[in-house]
Amino acid sequence: MLSTGEMFTQMGSLIAGIMFIWAMFQQYFPYELRTSLEKYTHKLFSLVYPYIQIKFNEFTGERLMRSEAFSAIETYLASNSSMQAKKLKADTLKNSQSLALSMDDNEEVADEFNGVKVWWVSGKNVSKAQSFSFYPTSDEKRYYKLLFHKKQRELIIGPYLSHVFKEGKAITVKNRQRKLYTNSGSHWSHVVFEHPATFQTLGMDPVRKREIVDDLVRFSNAQDYYAKIGRAWKRGYLLYGPPGTGKSTMVAAMANLLEYDIFDLELTAVKDNTELRKLLIETSSKSIIVIEDIDCSLDLTGQRKKKRKEDEDEDKEAVAKKLMKDEGEAKTSKVTLSGLLNFIDGLWSACRGERLIVFTTNYVEKLDPALIRRGRMDKHVELSYCCFESFKVLAKNYLDVEAHCLFDKIRLLLEEVNMSPADVAENLMVKSSIEDAVDGCLEGLVGALETAKEEARVKAAEEEAENAKRLLAEQVKAEEKVEEVAAVSQENGTKNESSGENGSLAKEELAK
Ligand SMILES: Nc1ncnc2c1ncn2[C@@H]1O[C@H](COP(=O)(O)OP(=O)(O)OP(=O)(O)O)[C@@H](O)[C@H]1O
Ligand SMILES: [Mg+2]
């Protein structure tokens, strides 16, 4: 059995011989004879030659777009060619942190699928056309050729190629540098997203954490499920809780878990609903769209009600808007709750690909229930003050300790005191390189918790005193009123002693 290399060498010399004869033939025989001979040779050749060849060009279409298939094949082959090809090309990935090797031009690698062997050959066409330009242009058009036995036609054209494209795309997603987009007006600008937060380092109850991770992973693998139930492949998360409890950190952990980009949408910078629509349509697949502090971003609670009233006197509103603009006060966003809701329900659902939308807020009760109902915000996650379970994660993370004699004391204190994970974490940061850093940090935390407990006690006592004072004042006021009413009724009573009505009036007032 010949190896592929040998097969190609033999084929090469055979082709060279044929080419020579063909050139002679072209010179001495008339055109008609040549074309008919060409046809028959081709037929004969395909009868004997048992291989099928498919060519994938780098550029396709009229506008010479880079072919998606070519890119997917390139990535797919790069992942398994480095072991086989003798000539490789090197490139850097992920902010120059890792090296990617791919096969060089005119190299050949073999691949196997369900026990069937196929060969990939890389090559390039160099265009002879001369063009003059100020900018250097590349005339090289690269391609990949796939060679396989004609008996395997169905397997290769169907399952094998879709396997190659799927794998290629998956590797691209894995290797890509993720981005953090922010909007300034109606444009997104981005930086490389390199937040180190992960679910492992996030301090929260492990059971709830597991539930969230499972939910996210299930969502990211559920393309077919969403298609089956006829829903857009989207999921809404509402993260709520006091400041410093890890809402923003969780968004970063989500992006790192699913390898998504983040689109951090600043609603106050968005002029109106049209601009909002434009921005959201521009978001890419595999991304998280975050609106932080949604309660502060807009007067979302009021605007929907206002909107209904708006219908009645639209003209008035238009005049008012114009006036505002004229006065240069139109800086505030005019994005409305209904605009946001319409987008979440309608337009956004039409965008292809998976997306998560996350709202964060400190005051969940301030939000319009329409905004956070299930279906829009599918999962509500409360991030709360640090509990002992969260503390253990932080202690392991920051100090590498899983048990300590101060843990019991800290557990009891955390049950009594509301301290955010951000404050706990601050106390666990090693601030010097002394040997007993762990003891120092934990003692510091105990001290901080005791201070917070004392402060809470003083505050509660003050509030109680304030309440008592208020109650007393109210009581005094009520008594004064009673006396006043009694005095008036007495005065009236002396005037109309006979009627006796005022006496009962005074009694009624008193009862009140
Ligand atoms: N649950 C947590 N686990 C680990 N670290 C946390 C946690 N919560 C807060 N932190 C730490 O505290 C800092 C602030 O947290 P983060 O910004 O996520 O809070 P937030 O809930 O978004 O607050 P805000 O409501 O003010 O936006 C982060 O740098 C993070 O390291
Ligand atoms: Mg935050």
List pLDDT tens digits, range 13-70: 665 566 667 666 666 666 667 677 767 776 776 677 788 889 998 877 655 567 888 8
Q: Judge if the beta carbon of residue 419 lies within 6 A of ligand 1.
A: no
List pLDDT tens digits, range 163-221: 999 998 888 877 778 899 999 878 899 998 989 999 999 999 999 999 999 999 999 99
**CA 250 – ligand 2 centroid, Å:** 9
pLDDT band at 310 (very low <50, low <70, confident <90, very high): very low
The residue ranking higher by pLDDT, 274 or 3, is 274
102: closest CA among 114, 124, 87, 121?
87
Residue 352: predicted pLDDT: 75
List pLDDT tens digits, range 244-273: 999 999 999 999 999 999 999 998 888 888
Rg of the chain on CA atoms, in Å: 37
List pLDDT tens digits, range 422-443: 999 999 998 766 667 888 899 9
Residue from 248, 386, 390, 391 whose mutation best tests the ligand 1 pocket (most atoms within 8 A of CB): 248
pLDDT band at 371 (very low <50, low <70, confident <90, very high): confident
SS3 state at 335: coil
How far apart are alpha carbons 476 and 483 in whole angstroms?
Answer: 11
DSSP state, 272? S
Range with the poorest average pLDDT among 157-171, 261-275, 342-356 = 342-356
Residue 307 has pLDDT above 90, yes or no: no
Of all protein residues, whose CA lies closest to atom 12 belonging to ligand 1?
A: 422
Residue 448: predicted pLDDT: 94
Residue position matching structure tokens 């062997």: 117
Contact 215, 379 (CB under 8 A): yes
As given in the structure block, the two tokens for residue 172 are 């691209």
How far apart are alpha carbons 83 and 73 in whole angstroms?
Answer: 16
Q: For residue 248, report the phi and psi dihedrals to the nearest 5 degrees.
A: -65, -35
**CA 203 – ligand 1 centroid, Å:** 9
Q: Judge if the beta carbon of residue 362 lies within 6 A of ligand 1.
A: yes
Residue 67: predicted pLDDT: 80
Four-point Cα dihedral 375, 377, 380, 382, nearest 10 = -170
362: closest CA among 239, 238, 241?
241
List pLDDT tens digits, range 461-500: 999 999 999 999 999 999 999 888 888 888 877 666 655 5
**CA 249 – ligand 2 centroid, Å:** 7
Q: Judge if the beta carbon of residue 429 lies within 6 A of ligand 1.
A: no
The residue ranking higher by pLDDT, 407 or 79, is 407
DSSP state, 438? H
DSSP state, 151? G
Burial of 252 (0-12, 13-18, 19+ CB in 10 A): buried
The total of other beta-carbon atoms located within 10 Å of residue 122's CB is: 23
Beta bridge partners of 361: 240
As given in the structure block, the two tokens for residue 247 are 């809402």
As given in the structure block, the two tokens for residue 216 are 């996210």
Domain 179-382 has what CATH class? alpha beta
| Mean pLDDT over each residue of the chain, to the nearest integer | 80
Residue 501: predicted pLDDT: 53
Residue 21: predicted pLDDT: 72
Looking at all shown ligands, the one closest to residue 249's CA atom is: 1
Contact 304, 336 (CB under 8 A): yes
Q: For residue 105, report the phi and psi dihedrals to the nearest 5 degrees.
A: -65, 150
The total of other beta-carbon atoms located within 10 Å of residue 286's CB is: 17
Q: Judge if the beta carbon of residue 236 lies within 6 A of ligand 1.
A: no
Q: Report percent pLDDT > 70 for the chain.
A: 73
The total of other beta-carbon atoms located within 10 Å of residue 213's CB is: 16
DSSP symbols for 351-403: S-S-EEEEEEES-GGGS-HHHHSTTTS-EEEE--S--HHHHHHHHHHHH--S-
How far apart are alpha carbons 225 and 231 in whole angstroms?
Answer: 9
Looking at all shown ligands, the one closest to residue 426's CA atom is: 1
**336 Cβ neighbours under 8 A, 6+ residues apart:** 273, 298, 303, 304, 307
Beta strand 287-291 pairing with 187-192: unpaired
Residue 63: predicted pLDDT: 52
**CA 245 – ligand 1 centroid, Å:** 5
Four-point Cα dihedral 154, 159, 162, 163, nearest 10 = -140
Burial of 505 (0-12, 13-18, 19+ CB in 10 A): middle
Beta bridge partners of 180: 191, 262
Q: How many CA atoms lie within 13 A of 27 on its CB side?
A: 6
Q: Where are the domains of the chain?
A: 50-126+139-175, 179-382, 388-512
The total of other beta-carbon atoms located within 10 Å of residue 178's CB is: 19
